[in-house]
Amino acid sequence: MRGIGGIDPGWGVTAVRIATALVLLHAGYQKVSGGLDKVADGFAKIGIPMPGVAGPAVAIFEVVGGIMLLIGLFGRWIGLLVALQFAVVSFAIKGPREPFAEWYLDLVLLASGILLFLAGSGKAAVDDVWHPGRRDA
């Protein structure tokens, strides 16, 4: 596919990858620095099963996954996990309980995860170095 002005569309995927990474890093850092016990308590309050495991796991995933996306490592797999996380957040947790204005960013992150899963990490990614010329890295 040819992009506008000859720019490879993979650079657009890269922009989405980096933006998603920064959002995950910010959210994960806030959770981790606020205390994983508080994250577990918050998960328990909204009815997430096994909050003592799920809360810290999500917080750590957001930090580690954010770093991995930032450098473009395992972009497809991190994208799949992001899509799954935000499908649950959007349609099982926030969607039924809160107005759209409270969860539209979650829906955008769901779309970002789907894009990364389908398209890979884009340009300027470690995945490109490990799998040069491969579009499905």
| pTM for the model | 0.90
* Contact of 108 with 63, CB cutoff 8 Å: no
Delimit the domains of the chain by residue range: 8-124
137: pLDDT confidence band, cut at 50, 70 and 90? very low
CA atoms within 13 A on the CB side of 27: 19
Cα dihedral value 53, 56, 61, 66, nearest 10: 170
Amino acid at site 118: L
pLDDT per position as a tens digit, 43-100: 999 999 999 999 999 999 999 999 999 999 999 999 999 999 999 999 999 999 999 9
The Cα 137–Cα 128 span in angstroms is 7
Cα dihedral value 122, 125, 130, 134, nearest 10: 10
